[in-house]
Amino acid sequence: MDGEPCRVCGGDGRIGNALGGSSATCPGCHGTGRRAEAAPTFHDVTKTKPSHHRPAVPISTGPKGPTTSEGRQLALEVSACAVLAEDAKTRLLTEILNHESTHGRCTRTFIKKIRKQTRLG
Ligand SMILES: [Zn+2]
């Protein structure tokens, strides 16, 4: 099996150009004159089969926070407030978010109203 001459060029590694008489490197053996090993049919077709189906997990962004700087500041004040109960804070934070979504920002009156509640007690 080894040393079998190239079928294209017959073993001399070159093929003659019928028109010009010059020779070119044999495309079959790339000039070695030896028959190239059978084309790489030995492709290792390792099947990359997923071991288990993974359902697409939606990215949880968590609770949406205020988008405006005033809203964020207000939310911070509410969260840091010592006189408000947790449920009251949650309610105020929701109020801030709602206000932002309807007004696009926090109005002065709204900020005042919220701040007033953080200062109760
Ligand atoms: Zn050849």
Do residues 7 and 35 make contact, with C-beta atoms less than 8 angstroms apart?
yes
25 beta partners: 14
Mean pLDDT for the stretch of residues 62-66: 71
Ligand 1 centre and the CA of 33: distance in Å? 5
Higher pLDDT, 103 or 54: 103
Report d(CA 64, CA 114) in Å as an integer: 19
| pLDDT of 18 above 70 | no
Terminal Cα-to-Cα distance of the chain (whole angstroms): 97
Give the mean pLDDT of the chain: 80
pLDDT band at 16 (very low <50, low <70, confident <90, very high): confident
Residue list, CB under 5 A from ion ligand 1? 6, 8-9, 26, 28-29
| pLDDT of 121 above 60 | no
What's the pLDDT score for residue 35? 81
Q: What pTM, to 2 d.p., does this model score?
A: 0.47
What's the pLDDT score for residue 103? 93
pLDDT band at 7 (very low <50, low <70, confident <90, very high): confident
Concatenated DSSP letters of 40-109: -----------SS--PPPPPP--SPPP-SHHHHHHHHHHHH-SSS-HHHHHHHHHHHHHHHHHHSS--HH
Ligand 1 centre and the CA of 64: distance in Å? 70
Ligand 1 centre and the CA of 102: distance in Å? 79
